[in-house]
Structure 1
Amino acid sequence: MPVPEMSHILPWVADHPLWFTRSLGVIDIAGGIGILLPSLFRRVPKLIRYAAIGCASKQVVAIVYHLTQGEPGIVPLNIVLLTLSLFIIWSRTDAGKALFGNRSIGRSASA
């Protein structure tokens, strides 16, 4: 999407270089892939926790940025995304596994 069109949706885009905006998009996509693909293919489960840590870190930085720029209206979305990331991190700890067990999507309990 061209910067002039994107700046209508995200006003901060016009204040930063294009490479910065694109790199944030790449980080978001990498985080989503890092959380989704290991869950679907049951490979490299530790990657899920690391991807969620990256997503949570980005949301903390986004919250601080939006508050310092006087944009408090977007912060609730960042808080929701941060909460989801923290839940994923917690669910991958021993406490989360003890609560949820080792349930897998698509597998029956007898398998």
Structure 2
Amino acid sequence: MINISYNNKELEDLILRGQSTDKLYKKLSRNKRFMFDLNKVMGILHSVSKISELYDLKSLHYEPLKYNLSGFSSVRIGYTSKYRLMFIEQEGGISIELINISEHYGDK
């Protein structure tokens, strides 16, 4: 099981309580499909024993990010969503620190 920590209080509120005061997260919290997909992704993150297992789950589009986002990784939230959950991998792939939810540059 992966250890998950939060770098962002607003993101933690969205994931754990389904609400947030952040403008984007508040908007997303009202989208039932998005929240369902976010909870599904979090369930998957909690169920894998190491990050490398995410490569096998093609629907997540797991990827270590490049260029100005080097050092971060992301997974897609939902099959048709333009949002991704960004995180930092720690301790050999058994611990992650959730950073934020952002719009994926390829889905405008």
The interval holding the TM-score normalised by the smaller chain is under 0.3
Please identify the structure whose Cα radius of gyration is greater. Answer: 1
Greater share of strand: 2
Greater share of helix: 1
